[in-house]
């Protein structure tokens, strides 16, 4: 239809041009469907039929979609274990801050997780933080993409204050984000047999290849007065520091999960997994929770019931509306062109001016 | 006396051409004082004295800007808008650490928007500049003293004091003093079309003392000094003195030739430049027409203020929470959120001084939520309006074939106001009528001649329900060729048959009077073709009528008039020469004109024509033979809407004439102040004892399609006022003819022509008259009001005359008068002056507070056009003055119907939808930012990448909204015209009332909530892809933004009614462009693209969840509007919904049948009443709108 309209209008325009040019100096507007505002157009109207069918179609598509997503989400097996409270020895339970800030105390803590259902490989390990504002403007801005990318921009630490430089020179990687790197570690074992945790390929490919330089090595990192989080091996280039990359992809909301590693073997149902946690990271001062999450994925990703439910609700709402309209139509059929239903023939309160 | 002069016709003796009399002496005494200080040294532009005065050169510039000041001045203009200042401040602050975005991403959209507006200004100004260049570089011949000859110079190089020569059909380059012309009696003819729109020639004549300087050689010696008034804008006055040869001569406007008027019928003139360039009267007059703002724009400003308050409120809330959170960062000596390093922080996040941080954050918030204010709103609206005007200009249905004139929107900023017109104030002559007079009937010696039926008669006959005998076809076949100004059909007179009529001698005399008693000038175009240049179209009609009957006036010189007429005895056409002795000119006071001629038989005759009342009281006893019957006929004619004129003559006695002439000449040459009075008295003396010959009837033809158009406009519920200078009777008749007054309508007449008032007037006590008049008007208004309220079911037509109107406009009465007038469907103000027209317009505008539209064609309508909200000029025969002052120019009154009902309706709808939508889309976007803020502890971190945001208004959402503003149509043009009631949507402002605007805003808020919460809950938290990756800040931003772009564009698709390929291209193109943008932006190095780096390609696109979320969110966000619209169409359909649905099912519903019946009957009738249903509806409307007011 579109192309048709275009060609006919141009042809008509051309025709009348030649006609009017033969008439001398006529100021008559040249005819074209465009200038006369007569372009071929479709003019959809919300007739009852259209409304009902639209709602029905949305409902018919959405409810199955929701069911499918929900079932995909159901298939995902997820183990969530909150350890921030229980990993504090009982004698420190009134002053957790003191516990976490004291470097001389042993922070390791053992947790046992039960696998509810068979977890097919790969099983993803996440840590989940709560009430942690990685999206705070001060925090987000406190980094230097230039510095991360190339050695020559080492000194561009303009935005990194106060973690920009030490007396020995610029900090690499600089800024609050890198400085506050998460430093809890997990060691998994089943029946005293250690489970291998694959920490490769947990970062985005673009981060490894483009954002973090392969010739940029950590420098002066965590060497200042206040130690924020994890230290980095200064002999490994940034492009290999996948934990850092994951951490530096700042989270959107104050509750977030980050990928810790992958277990590339199936975990059988009812297996007991022992996790040795080095509980180093301070979330106690802002009373944030820490959770360890083991999860498989499906095509939809992790365990996410919300989407499926939302689809079903929206679809159901549409069907409900469709039914309402059908009922209205059956119970009170009314010719829509009835002039007595003109808006201003009725009570003017409906359309106050 | 019969000296032959070269082509000189001393028309100056026909005083009627002289438009202004020389000003009286006392004004000249002011020369040299303040305001009268200009000194011109004629022919000595190089003299020290002249140069010392430093008058401006003749260079004119009408541009708003110059090359130098364009940038600063247009920038200044831009930043007079509050919104733009806000954006400028934001841009400046964006360089500080306060800014939530990077500075370039804020500045770029501002630069684009300001740049686009400035470019538009620049182009417009450049066009003006080209016109200026053209005018400045026109050539004129300037006298060169050294070579004693004229040489060509450019206009701009003229200086005060220069002598110039202007040739035939050239424009005067500056205001000149006429020295001499090619005529020996130093006159010249001037056309002042460009100044006042009058097309008739004006006569100017130089002082006799300068008339000798008529050759280049003689000019060498010419020296004179002119002292005159300073530059001013009064076109018709000039005060100055010429010092020449140690003598003083008073100068009057008669000697002044104004810039931009044209020399006509004169070979050349010599003149001295007095005023140059911007000092000339025409340039002094060239003030910009008052800039008009539409109601929608004014309301839009208020909405902007609402949004600003929202913005401030939201930022305040944000900063309050931010302050609390920041304060909490330091609790009991411990820093809670240690990862923010609150111990070593800047002032912006310092928990030790949370109040300062909160205050500074408030500023950040003002910038962050700035997206609530649509930056591109103004420029988009301007673009739309310009394009809309192009459509108006291009509309073929508003093109007049005859005049070769399309409609022309002279200002583009009033388009949508066209859709809201509540009252139309119309001029009559030239607007409703063609102002082309047609001689249709005459009564000679008490016999009626002329068989044609006027439109008024047809209408009246229809009104009475008489069966009309079809006669038009006969006319059409009979007449060989229609002659302009002549529509007289009578086989008894035509083709020389009058000879055999019983009263043939009277008929002969009658037409001789018509052929000689006038001031027209014949122009022989060909052997058989003679054109007449007459002062008024009436006069031309008479001369043409005389010619057609066989009394052809073909030549005139200052002393004689030559006719070629049929000799009844021999039956041959012979030339007869009438010696023209005197012309007693027409004036509105005298209401008559006469000439004194000596016919070839040496008889002295006074031939007169004039208003019936004036002529009848001057008849001699024996001249009243046909008085009764003629009076009767005149009555009948005026009932038929014709303009009548009585024709009489008198044979003069030689002696009587001689004595009279002596006195008359003496009076004429006298210079005393009461010369005019004296001449009038003398004219009265000779114009008596007339013998009545008959009367003429001239039809002021209605323009084509006027009744139909008025009928349509009335059915659209638009009140129509006619403001005319006509007599009451004529006005009422015209009212009927063009269906302003309809059968079944009650007439309310307010007049002062009551016996008691007339009696008072005879007594002459002015104060008493005024008081009595005022009381009488007051009583009449009160009586009429009670009548109107009693019988509310009938329609009323109010007729008031100008004199009564002045009293009705008294400040104690005006409110009750306007109240009365507003309740009447039609108001006719007759005998109103141009000034009154403007006053009435202003009153209607201010009392009703609604939109008024004035339509007129003549210079007398200019005040009215400028006063009204919209001025529509008819580019008719009366020149361009009205058009120049108007906002829209159309060629025919009937085009008003299309201009209002189609273009007005569309434009109103488009602009109001567009603005609502603009606010919607920005609120949707702005509030997603706010919700996100709530989850970042209000730290001021935007949810999206800087560049997504800066492209939002400019790239992702602007084109569809412009397409809406330019192309959308709820119903087609045909249906707009078929259902005029649809127009009420605009009058009642249904599409742009506060509930609707707030509704759209609420919809935006709802959309933002749906988008934010559905997106965050779907996508964040657990992994969003099969490979276990979680959605971070950048992914959430992209997902949310995708949803916003989709939602906003689909919302547009849902709310427009008209999809052409353009809409499809823009809407879907904008969405596609977002993805393209993401890919392109995401592929540039990460140091520039930051969070957007490969975000779509790598992270989002492979995730099914991303696409599923988009679908869910978009549908969910569209549901509220969709279901609202569905329910609304079902339960509370708006007029356009109803029509749209009807169009779908043309065959069904009873209503459609009634509609068809109605439209059929409305086509059949020209002057019948409104269909009752329509009237009831209109009444309901009025009632409901009144309740609201």
State the DSSP H helix or E strand holding residue A170, giving kind and residue range, or none if neither.
Answer: strand A169-170
Distance (Å, whole) CA B514 – CA A347: 64
Which CATH class for the B158-285 domain? mainly beta
pLDDT category of residue B413 using cuts at 50, 70 and 90: confident
Q: Which residues of A touch B399 (CB under 8 A)?
A: 27-29
Nearest to A139 among B339, B1022, B1059 (CB): B339
Q: B862 or A321: whose pLDDT is higher?
A: A321
Phi and psi at B866, nearest 5°, equal -75, -30
**ipTM score:** 0.89
B1026 is in an annotated binding site: no
Helix (H, G, I), strand (E, B) or coil at A250: coil
pLDDT digits (tens, 9 = 90+) for B356-387: 999 999 988 988 888 888 888 888 898 899 89
Q: Of A111, A115, A66, which Cα lies nearest the Cα of A88?
A: A111
Task: Pick the most confident of B158-167, B214-223, B743-752, B919-928.
Answer: B919-928
Distances (CA, A) of B588 to B142, B592, B641: 42, 8, 20
**Which chain B positions have a beta carbon within 8 Å of A210's beta carbon?**
1085-1086, 1093-1094
DSSP string, B443-474: EETTEEE-----HHHHHHHHHHTPPPPP-HHH
Residue among A29, A45, A257 minimizing CB distance to B1140: A45
Which of B904, B965, B996, B1022 should one mutate to test binding to chain A, selecting the residue with the greatest count of A CBs within 10 A?
B1022
Question: Which residue of A lies nearest to B1099 if distances are taken between CA atoms?
Answer: A204
SS3 content of chain A, % helix, strand, coil (to 5): 35, 20, 45
User: What b/e sequence results for B161-186 when a residue is b if at least 16 CB atoms lie within 10 Å of its CB, and e otherwise?
Assistant: bbbbbbeeebbbbbbbbbbbbbbebb
C-alpha count within 13 angstroms, C-beta hemisphere, residue A337: 17
Can you give the pLDDT at residue B671?
A: 60
> Does the annotation place B860 within a ligand binding site?
yes
pLDDT of residue B30: 67
| B857 in a known ligand binding site | yes
Q: Percent of chain B scored above 70 by pLDDT?
A: 88
Q: Which residues of B touch A134 (CB under 8 A)?
A: 1033
The answer to whether B609 is a known ligand-binding residue is: yes
Highest CATH level, class, for B436-465+483-700: alpha beta
Q: What class is the B402-431+702-900 domain?
A: alpha beta
Average pLDDT along chain B: 81
B1078 pLDDT more than 60: yes
Please give the Cα distance from B41 to B38 (Å, whole number). 10
The answer to whether B334 is annotated as binding is no
Task: B609-614: list long-range contacts, CB under 8 Å, 24+ apart.
Answer: B609/B513, B609/B514, B609/B517, B609/B542, B609/B645, B609/B646, B609/B647, B609/B648, B609/B696, B610/B586, B610/B645, B610/B646, B611/B645, B611/B646, B612/B644, B612/B645, B612/B646, B612/B695, B614/B590, B614/B646
Instruction: Choose, out of B977, B1028, B1050, B1137, the residue to mutate when testing the contact with A (most A CBs < 10 Å).
Output: B1028
Q: Do B1016 and A132 touch (CB under 8 A)?
A: no
pLDDT single digits (tens) B417-448 = 999 999 999 988 778 877 677 888 888 888 88
Q: Of A324-333, B481-490, B508-517, B996-1005, which one has max mean pLDDT?
A: B996-1005
DSSP letters spanning B775-806: HHHHHHHHHHHHHHHHTTTS-EEEEEEHHHHH
Q: Name the residue ranges covered by the structural domains of chain B.
A: 80-117+304-372, 158-285, 376-386+902-1141, 402-431+702-900, 436-465+483-700
Q: Which token pair is B31? A: 């020369």
CB-CB under 8 Å, A39 with B1062: yes
Is residue A246 within a helix (H) or strand (E), and if so which, with residue range? helix A242-248
Active site residues of B: 427
d(CA B1119, CA B802): 59
Q: Which of A43, A54, A341 sits opposite B1057 (nearest CB)?
A: A43
pLDDT reported for residue B916: 93
CA dihedral B989, B995, B1000, B1006 (to 10 degrees): -170
pLDDT tens readout for residues A223-243: 877 888 888 888 999 999 999
Give the one of B399, B1030, B1058 whose C-beta lies nearest to A258's C-beta. Answer: B1030
- Are residues A220 and A169 in contact, defined by beta-carbon separation less than 8 angstroms? yes
CB contact under 8 A, B1021 and A40: no
Q: Is A36 on the interface with B (CB under 8 A)?
A: yes
First to last CA, chain B: 75
Rounded CA separation B106/B827 (Å): 55
On the question of pLDDT at B1188 being above 50, the answer is: no
Going by pLDDT thresholds of 50, 70 and 90, the confidence category of residue B521 is confident
B730-742 tens-digit pLDDT: 777 778 778 788 7
Contact B1087 A46 (CB under 8 A): no
> A46, B1125: Cβ pair inside 8 Å?
yes
- Identical fold, B158-285 and B402-431+702-900: no
Distance (Å) of CA B509 to CA B397, B445, B597, B598, B605: 48, 10, 13, 14, 11
Q: Categorize the per-residue pLDDT at A182 as very low, low, confident or very high, splitting at 50, 70 and 90.
A: very high
Task: Say if the Cβ atoms of B1028 and A295 lie within 8 Å.
Answer: yes
pLDDT at A16: 36
Nearest chain B alpha carbon to A123: B1028
- CA–CA distance, B947 with B108 (Å, rounded to integer): 10
pLDDT band at A9 (very low <50, low <70, confident <90, very high): very low
Q: Which of residues 160-179 of A touch B (CB under 8 A)?
A: 161-163, 176, 179
Spatial neighbors of A163 by CB under 8 A, at least 6 apart, are A142, A171, A174, A175, A176, A178, A179, A224, A228, B341
DSSP B743: T
Alpha-carbon distance B225 to B243, whole Å?
5
Q: From residue B534, how far is each of B16, B698, B700 by CA, in Å?
A: 11, 15, 16
Q: What tens digit of pLDDT does each residue of A70-111 get? A: 999 999 999 999 998 888 888 888 888 888 888 888 889 999
Quickly count: other Cβ atoms within 10 Å of residue A160's Cβ: 23
B1021-1037: pLDDT as tens digits: 899 999 999 999 999 99
Give the CA diameter of chain A: 104
When pLDDT is cut at 50, 70 and 90, the band that residue B465 belongs to is low
Q: Report the pLDDT averaged over residues B624-649.
A: 83
This prediction has a pTM of: 0.79
Minimal C-alpha gap between A178 and chain B (Å): 10
> For position B473, what pLDDT does the model report?
39
Question: CB–CB of B1086 and A137 under 8 A?
Answer: no
pLDDT of residue B1113: 95
pLDDT of B236-290, one tens digit each? 778 888 888 888 888 888 888 888 888 877 888 888 998 988 888 877 766 555 5
Query: Who among B348, B391, B1026 is closest to A299 (CB)?
Result: B1026
Contact (CB<8Å) B1021/A302? yes
Cα–Cα distance between A203 and B1032 in angstroms, integer?
A: 12
- SS3 (DSSP) at B143: strand
């Amino acid at each position: 239809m579109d192309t048709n309209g275009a060609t006919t209008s141009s042809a008509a325009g051309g025709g009348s041009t030649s006609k009017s040019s033969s008439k001398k100096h006529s100021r008559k507007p040249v005819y074209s469907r465009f200038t006369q505002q007569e372009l071929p157009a479709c003019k959809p109207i919300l007739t009852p039929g259209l409304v009902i069918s639209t709602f029905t179609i949305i409902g018919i598509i959405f409810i199955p979609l929701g069911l499918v997503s929900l079932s995909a989400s159901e298939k995902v097996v997820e183990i969530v274990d909150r350890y921030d409270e229980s990993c504090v020895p009982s004698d420190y339970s009134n002053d957790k801050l003191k516990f976490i800030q004291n470097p001389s105390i042993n922070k390791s803590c053992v947790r046992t997780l039960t696998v509810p259902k068979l977890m097919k490989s790969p099983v993803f390990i996440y840590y989940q933080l709560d009430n942690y504002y990685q999206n705070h403007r001060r925090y987000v801005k406190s980094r230097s993409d230039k510095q991360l990318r190339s050695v020559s921009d080492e000194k561009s630490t303009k935005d990194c204050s106060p973690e920009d430089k030490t007396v020995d020179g610029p900090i690499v990687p600089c800024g609050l984000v890198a400085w506050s790197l998460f430093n809890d570690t997990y060691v998994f074992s089943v029946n005293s047999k250690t489970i291998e945790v694959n920490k490769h390929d947990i970062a985005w490919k673009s981060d490894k290849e483009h954002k973090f330089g392969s010739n940029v090595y950590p420098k002066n990192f965590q060497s200042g007065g206040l130690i924020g989080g994890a230290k980095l091996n200064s002999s490994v280039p940034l492009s290999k520091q996948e934990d850092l990359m994951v951490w530096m992809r700042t989270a959107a909301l104050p509750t977030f999960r980050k990928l810790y590693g992958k277990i590339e073997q199936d975990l059988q149902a009812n297996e007991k997994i022992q996790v040795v946690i080095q509980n180093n990271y301070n979330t106690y001062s802002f009373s944030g929770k820490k959770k360890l999450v083991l999860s498989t994925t499906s095509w939809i990703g992790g365990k996410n019931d919300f989407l499926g439910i939302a689809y079903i609700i929206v679809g159901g709402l549409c069907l409900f509306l469709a039914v309402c309209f059908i009922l209205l139509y059956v119970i009170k059929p009314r010719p829509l062109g009835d002039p007595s239903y003109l808006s201003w023939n009725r009570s003017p309160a409906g359309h106050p001016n | 006396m019969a000296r032959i002069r070269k082509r000189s016709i001393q028309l100056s003796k026909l005083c009627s051409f002289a438009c202004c009399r020389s000003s009286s002496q006392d004004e000249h005494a002011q020369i040299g004082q303040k305001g009268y200080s200009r000194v011109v040294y004629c022919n000595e532009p190089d003299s020290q004295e002249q140069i010392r005065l430093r008058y401006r050169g003749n260079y004119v510039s009408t541009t708003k800007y110059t090359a130098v000041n364009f940038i600063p001045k247009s920038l200044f203009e831009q930043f007079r808008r509050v919104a733009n200042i806000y954006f400028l401040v934001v841009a400046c602050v964006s360089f500080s650490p306060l800014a939530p975005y990077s500075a370039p991403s804020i500045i770029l959209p501002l630069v684009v928007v300001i740049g686009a507006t400035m470019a538009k200004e620049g182009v417009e100004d450049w066009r003006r500049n080209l016109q200026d260049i053209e005018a400045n570089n026109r050539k004129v011949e300037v006298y060169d003293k050294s070579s004693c000859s004229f040489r060509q110079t450019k206009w701009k190089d003229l200086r005060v004091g220069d002598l110039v020569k202007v040739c035939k059909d050239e424009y005067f380059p500056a205001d000149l003093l006429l020295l001499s012309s090619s005529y020996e009696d130093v006159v010249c003819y001037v056309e002042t079309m460009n100044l006042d729109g009058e097309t008739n020639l004006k006569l100017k004549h130089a002082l006799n003392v300068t008339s000798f300087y008529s050759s280049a050689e003689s000019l060498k010696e010419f020296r004179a000094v002119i002292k005159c008034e300073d530059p001013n804008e009064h076109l018709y006055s000039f005060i100055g003195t010429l010092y020449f040869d140690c003598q003083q001569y008073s100068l009057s406007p008669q000697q002044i030739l104004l810039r931009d008027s044209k020399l006509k019928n004169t070979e050349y003139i010599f003149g001295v430049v007095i005023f140059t360039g911007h000092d000339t009267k025409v340039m002094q007059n060239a003030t910009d027409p008052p800039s008009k703002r539409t109601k929608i724009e004014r309301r839009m400003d208020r909405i902007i203020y609402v949004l600003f308050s929202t913005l401030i409120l939201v930022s305040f809330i944000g900063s309050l929470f931010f302050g609390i959170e920041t304060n909490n960062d330091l609790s009991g000596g411990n820093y809670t959120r240690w990862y923010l390093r609150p111990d070593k922080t800047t002032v912006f996040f310092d928990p030790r001084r949370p109040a300062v941080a909160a205050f500074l954050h408030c500023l950040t918030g003002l910038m962050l939520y700035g997206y609530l204010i649509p930056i591109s709103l103004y420029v988009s609206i301007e673009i739309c309006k310009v394009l809309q005007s192009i459509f108006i200009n291009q509309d073929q249905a508003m093109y007049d074939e005859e005049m070769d004139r399309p409609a022309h929107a002279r200002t583009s900023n009033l388009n949508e106001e066209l859709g809201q017109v509540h009252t139309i104030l119309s001029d009559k002559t030239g607007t409703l009528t063609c102002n082309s007079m047609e001689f249709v009937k005459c009564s000679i010696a008490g016999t009626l001649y002329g068989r044609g039926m006027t439109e008024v008669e047809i209408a009246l006959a229809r009104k009475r329900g008489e069966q009309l005998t079809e006669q038009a076809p006969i006319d059409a076949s009979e007449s060989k060729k229609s002659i302009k100004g002549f529509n007289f059909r009578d086989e008894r007179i035509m083709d020389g048959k009058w000879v055999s009529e019983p009263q043939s001698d009277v008929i002969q005399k009658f037409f001789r009077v018509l052929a000689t008693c006038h001031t027209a000038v014949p122009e022989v175009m060909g052997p058989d073709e003679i054109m007449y240049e007459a002062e008024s179209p009436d006069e031309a009609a008479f001369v043409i009528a005389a010619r057609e009957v066989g009394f052809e006036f073909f030549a005139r010189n200052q002393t004689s008039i030559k006719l070629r007429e049929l000799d009844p005895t021999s039956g041959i056409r012979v030339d007869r020469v009438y010696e023209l002795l005197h012309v007693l000119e027409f004036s509105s006071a005298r209401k008559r004109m006469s000439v004194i001629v000596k016919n070839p038989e040496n008889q002295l005759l006074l031939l007169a024509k004039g208003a019936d009342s004036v002529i009848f009281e001057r008849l001699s006893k024996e001249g009243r033979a046909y008085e009764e019957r003629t009076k009767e006929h005149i009555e009948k004619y005026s009932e038929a809407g014709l303009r009548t004129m009585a024709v009489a003559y008198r044979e003069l006695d030689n002696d009587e004439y001689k004595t009279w002439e002596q006195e008359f000449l003496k009076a004429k040459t006298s210079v005393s102040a009461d010369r005019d009075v004296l001449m009038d008295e003398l004219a009265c003396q000779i114009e008596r004892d007339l013998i009545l010959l008959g009367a003429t009837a001239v039809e002021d033809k209605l323009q084509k399609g006027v009744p139909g158009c008025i009928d349509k406009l009335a059915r659209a519920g638009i009140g129509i006022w006619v403001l005319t200078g006509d007599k009451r009777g004529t006005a009422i008749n015209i009212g009927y003819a063009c269906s302003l007054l309809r059968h079944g309508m009650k007439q309310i007449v307010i007049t002062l022509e009551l016996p008691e008032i007339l009696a008072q007037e005879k007594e002459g006590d002015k104060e008493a008259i005024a008081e009595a008049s005022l009381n009488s008007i007051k009583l009449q208004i009160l009586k009429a009001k009670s009548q109107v309220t009693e019988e509310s079911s009938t329609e009323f037509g109010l007729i008031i005359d100008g004199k009564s109107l002045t009293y009705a406009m008294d400040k104690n009465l005006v409110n009750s008068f306007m109240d009365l007038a507003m309740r009447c469907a039609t108001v006719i103000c007759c005998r109103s002056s141009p000034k009154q027209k403007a006053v009435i317009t202003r009153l209607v505008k201010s009392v009703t507070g609604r939109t008024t539209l004035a339509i007129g064609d003549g210079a007398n309508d200019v005040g009215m056009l400028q006063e009204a909200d919209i001025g529509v000029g008819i580019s008719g025969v009366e020149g361009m003055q009205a058009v120049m002052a108007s906002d829209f120019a159309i060629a025919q009154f009937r085009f008003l119907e299309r201009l209002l009902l189609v273009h007005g309706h569309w434009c109103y709808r488009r602009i109001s939808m567009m603005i609502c939508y603009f606010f919607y889309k920005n609120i949707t976007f702005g509030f997603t930012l706010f919700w996100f803020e709530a989850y970042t502890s209000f730290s001021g971190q935007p949810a999206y990448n800087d560049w997504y945001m800066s492209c939002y208004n400019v790239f992702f959402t602007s084109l569809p909204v412009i397409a809406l503003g330019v192309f959308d149509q709820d119903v087609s043009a045909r249906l707009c015209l078929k259902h005029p009631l649809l127009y009420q949507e605009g009058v009642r402002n249904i599409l742009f009332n506060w509930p609707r605007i707030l509704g759209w805003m609420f919809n935006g808020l709802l959309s933002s909530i749906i988008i934010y919460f559905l997106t965050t809950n779907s996508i964040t938290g657990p992994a969003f892809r099969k490979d276990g990756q979680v959605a971070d800040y950048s992914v959430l931003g992209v997902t949310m933004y995708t949803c916003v772009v989709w939602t906003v564009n689909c919302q547009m698709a849902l709310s427009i009614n008209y999809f052409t390929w353009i809409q499809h291209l823009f809407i879907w193109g904008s969405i596609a462009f977002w993805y393209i943008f993401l890919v392109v932006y995401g592929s540039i190095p990460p140091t520039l693209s930051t969070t957007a780096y490969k975000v779509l390609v790598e992270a989002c696109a492979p995730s099914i969840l991303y696409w599923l979320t988009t679908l869910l969110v978009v549908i969910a966000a569209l549901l509220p509007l969709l279901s609202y619209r569905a329910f609304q169409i079902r339960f509370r359909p708006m007029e356009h919904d109803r029509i749209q649905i009807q169009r779908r099912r043309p065959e069904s519903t009873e209503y459609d049948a009634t509609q068809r019946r109605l439209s059929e009957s409305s086509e059949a009738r020209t002057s019948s009443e409104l269909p009752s249903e329509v009237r009831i509806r209109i009444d309901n409307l009025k009632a409901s709108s009144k309740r609201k007011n």
